[in-house]
Structure formats: C-alpha cells, structure tokens
Structure 1
Amino acid sequence: MTPRKPDLAERLIDAAVALFAERTYEGTQMPAVAQRAGVGVGSIYRYFPSKEALGNAAFQHAKRALLDELAAAMAEGGPAGTVREEFGRFWRGFTRYAGARPEAFVFLEHQQHDTFLAPDSLALAAEIDRIAADFIERGQRAGEIRDGDAAQLVALAVGAFTGLVKLHRADGLGAMAPADLAAAEECVWALLHRPAP
C-alpha cells in the first residue's frame, strides 16, 4: 500500500512549524513558509487567510499531537497503580513526543505565543495544563507530591524537561542513553515528590 501523501494544508502547517522552531513565529515570513512547502505564496492564503491563522493552525496541530501522545502513554498497561507510575507515563509521553516531533516541541515550549493565539488555541493549551495540574493535585491528596501551587509545580517540571530537550536539541532525545533518560526522569520526579519526614 502506498503511503498517503500529505495534503497541502498539512504541508503548509509542517513547513510553518519547522520554520517557527528555527526562526520563531515573529521571525518567519509567509514567503519562507511557501518556499519550505514548495508552493507559491498565494497557495497559503487559500487555506489560511493570515499569518495568525497559520500560526494558530500550527499551534493547534502540535498541541493536539502532544495531547494524543500523552493520552496514549497514560492508557498503556491499564490503570496506573501509583502516582509515581502515572508520572512515568507522563514522562514517556513527553519524551516520545519530543523525540518524534522535535520541531513541534521547540515551537510549543521554547517560544512565547501570546502575540497571535486565538481563544480556541488558548483553550486547547489550557486543557493540557489542566490535565497536568489535576495529576499534581491528585498526587498532593495522596501525599506523594509536595505542597504548593499545582500550576507552579507543573511549570517547574515542564521547565526541567524543556531544558533537557534544549540541551540535547542537536542530537535529539533519542541519542540519550536510556540510563541517562531514566536518571533525568528520577531527577524531575524528585523535584515533585514530597520529601520523607
């Protein structure tokens, strides 16, 4: 069976994500997106009436893929037995996403988006934030995660993971030895875990 050829809108989104990761959203011009996608500039405007529309489509595409990867990781092996196991699933979801889609991860996590995001994009971002905050709050109620504002603890954990991706951006997370990736997971868990009395 022949693999499906991506449609033009998908090619434009992929080109935009790649360029936004390289140059930032603000530093990317529409002609560069068209050139990367191998089309004329006018083709972009048949699908996306403005740069903001393309930016929102790229953001939503990348966020939905992250949400799908996290959902798949959370469903692996049935219900998680402990808070630590659930954290491990989140970690695997993030590492798989960042490894498979490094440009999308950089675009999502290494840049500011507040200059162009529409309400539906902000709602999607808030959905992922809520999933992570819910995990923190459940872990706090179980006595496994340290006290503190859930959103701040999520920001610290995601910030640590984002720093790890940045450190290994040239060679990718896939180049990390499994033992090093496991050690990094333990460090981030230690940041969240409630210390023993």
Structure 2
Amino acid sequence: MKETRTKIERDSAAVRKDKLMGAALKLFSEFGFHGVAVPKIAKDAGMSTGSVYNYFESKEELVNELFWVWKDQLKSYYLTDYPMTENTEGQFIFIWNRLHQYAHDFPDAFQFIESQLHSSYLTKECADLEEEVFEIGRMFVRGGQAAGVLRDNDPQMIVAFFFGAFVQYFKDTRACRQKWSLEASLEVRDLCWTSMLK
C-alpha cells in the first residue's frame, strides 16, 4: 500500500511538472523570457507561485530545462534516419523536411527555441547543445562543398542563410503574413537551394 501511494505521489508530481512546463512554454514563446513573471506561469499552470519552486530553483532553471528538452528534440529530428549516403540535394531535402515537420508538430516549442535570443540566461550545457545542432548543418554544408556542389562561403553563413529563411517564413505565418503549408515551405526551400549552389 505504501509503495502504491508513493508511486501515485510521484506520478502526480510528474503531471504537475508537465503542466508547469507546458504553461511556461506557451508564455515564453509568446512573450519571451523577460516578459513573463513566475506568478503568471504558476497561475496558467493552475498552481501557487510557491509550488513552482518545488520543481525549479529559479525561472532561469525552468527556462534552461525547457530549452534543453525542445532543442534536444530538434536534434533528434535531424539525426534520426539521417541519409548519410544521399547526395547533397537529398540531404538538404531531408534536413528541410525534418525542420518543417518539427515546426509543424511543435509550433510553440519552435517559436520558443528559435525566435528569441537566449544568450543572457542559457547555461553552458544548453549553449553547447545549440552548437551541436548547428554542427549538423555545418557538416552537411562542408560535405556539399567537398563534393563541389555548394558555394565556398563559410559553412555557418550558409546554415544561417537557409535556417534563417525557414525561421522567417515560420514567423511570417504566425503573424498571418503567409499561410503555413508544406507547399509554401518547399518554395522557400527551393529558393534557398538554388541560391546555395556553386
């Protein structure tokens, strides 16, 4: 009986933490880290402000855990079944499709991790994870350059070019300047691809 009660308590704590992180994600994605106070997060999660500190020592710890969880999920989207033997174009299509799928599956998370500046509060571990994700793109670019397919610009510059184009398209759809669709996303992809070619 005691073990059952302990498991129920653990499960309840996990549910409350998930609700807290879900509320924080929605608020941070809309208003940014500095635009949201802990009491607002607690209210939207349906708990007291003091209860937040049962799970996180500070708002900074909360935002770093959120960033880690969702950036690591994006990394997983890129790496799962990555087509290493495909040619450069095939790899780019894969990367773009996974990027689109992630933003489609988790729009609030994508808005949170990619549409804001996080440097003032990210831990070194989170910053290192962000670099790991960028390195996936840089490795793709270096491979395309070695194959004589992609322009000889700095790899990070090329990653910033196509990734930035996708992020801006996503932001435009959130602001109702464009319609979110796979067809429109692929138009942006093709514009990027032709611009990257050597």
Normalising to structure 1: TM-score of the pair? 0.87
Shift of 1:174: 8.3
After superposition, the Cα gap between the structure-2 partners of 1:191 and 1:8, relative to the gap in structure 1 and judged at 3 Å, is farther
Q: What amino acid is the match of 2:127? A: L
Q: Provide the C-alpha distance between the structure 2 equivalents of 1:191 and 1:48, rounded to a whole number of angstroms.
A: 45
- 1:193 counterpart residue number: 197
Structure 1 residues without counterparts, runs of 5 or longer: none
Aligned residue number for residue 41 of structure 2: 33
Q: Is the 8 A contact 2:151 2:197 kept in 1?
A: yes
Partner of 2:161: 156
* Contact residue 165 and residue 188 of structure 2 kept, 8 A: no
The 1:110–1:184 alpha-carbon spacing in structure 2 relative to 1, beyond 3 Å, is same
Structure 2 CA distance, aligned partners of 1:51 and 1:11? 15
Take 1:40 and 1:190, find their aligned partners in 2: how far apart are those partners? Answer: 53
Change beyond 3 A, Cα 1:125–1:172 = farther
Alignment of 1:39-54 (within 5 A): 39-54=47-62
Q: Larger helix proportion, structure 1 or 2?
A: 2
Shift of 1:41: 1.3
Deviation at 1:180, TM superposition (A): 2.5
Q: 1:101-112 residue pairs with structure 2 within 5 A?
A: 101-112=106-117
TM normalised by structure 2 equals: 0.87
What is residue 113 of structure 1 aligned with on the other side? Answer: 118
Q: Give 1:71 shift.
A: 2.0
- C-alpha contact 1:31 1:41 (8 A) present in aligned 2: yes
In structure 2, the partner of 1:64 is: 72
- 1: CA distance between counterparts of 2:178 and 2:123? 31
SS of the residue corresponding to residue 174 of structure 2 reads: coil
Please give the alpha-carbon distance, in whole angstroms, between the structure 1 residues aligned to 2:134 and 2:186: 24
Q: Is residue 2:95 matched to residue 1:97? A: no
Q: Does 1:146 align with 2:154?
A: no
| Distance in 2 separating the partners of 1:172 and 1:106 | 16
Q: SS at the partner of 1:87?
A: helix
SS at match of 1:42: helix
Moved more, 136-145 or 180-189: 180-189
The one of 131, 135, 140 aligned to 1:130: 135
Selected match of 1:24 from 16, 24, 32: 32
Look up the SS of the partner of 1:113 in the other structure: coil
Task: Answer whether contact 1:157 1:191 (CA < 8 A) is retained.
Answer: no
Would you identify which runs of 4 or more consecutive aligned residues in structure 1 move more than 6 Å? 171-174
Tell me if the contact between 1:63 and 1:124 (Cα under 8 Å) persists in the aligned partners. yes
Percent identity of equivalent pairs: 30
Cα drift, residue 170 of structure 1:
5.0
Aligned residue pairs: how many? 187
The question of 1:13 aligning with 2:10 is answered no
How well do the aligned residues superpose, as a CA RMSD in angstroms? 2.2
